[in-house]
Amino acid sequence: MCIFCEIANKNIDSKIVYEDDFCIAFNDVAPAAPTHVLVIPKQHVANVNEASSELLSRIMQAVKEVVKALGISEYRLISNCGESSGQTVFHLHFHILGGKNLGKLCD
Ligand code: AMP
């Protein structure tokens, strides 16, 4: 089974920071910034290309709740879509990165 489905089903431990009926958010296991949280839908969808507008809207609502809970108002929100973008887990997720000056987006 998909590793993020396993996390959403609580079969694999993760540091969960937020949960609602549609989404779950947990700390990235290999943080790229002092704050690095992943927000995922509980439903398995590979990436943005496969997600409905309604699901994306639910996830964006969750993102806003997560950053409120984390106490941050400045952050970078990234969703890699496809291998060449850097996507390695093919269950839709949004990275919330913050807690430092993140610099430019790409080299
Ligand atoms: P991406 O490269 O955009 O697909 O991002 C996948 C992210 O999932 C990476 O930042 C990984 O560090 C993270 N990741 C992979 N496995 C786990 C896990 N078991 N718990 C938390 N984060 C994970």
Q: Is the dihedral of CA 31, 8, 65, 90 positive or negative?
A: positive
Quote the number of domains for the chain.
1
* Residue 105 within a domain: no
* Residue 66 within a domain: yes
Residue 30: CB atoms within 10 A of its CB come to 6
Q: What is this structure's pTM?
A: 0.97
* Residue 104 within a domain: no
Closest C-alpha to ligand 1, atom 3: 87
* Residue 103 within a domain: no
pLDDT by residue, tens only, the chain of 107 residues: 899 999 999 999 999 999 999 999 999 999 999 999 999 999 999 999 999 999 999 999 999 999 999 999 999 999 999 999 999 999 999 999 999 999 998 86
* Residue 107 within a domain: no
The domain of 25 spans: 3-98
Q: Which residues line ligand 1 (CB under 6 A)?
A: 3, 12, 14, 28-30, 38, 80, 86-89
Report the C-alpha gap between 77 and 102 in whole angstroms: 11
Give the distance, in angstroms, between the CA of residue 86 and the centroid of all CA atoms in the same chain. Answer: 14
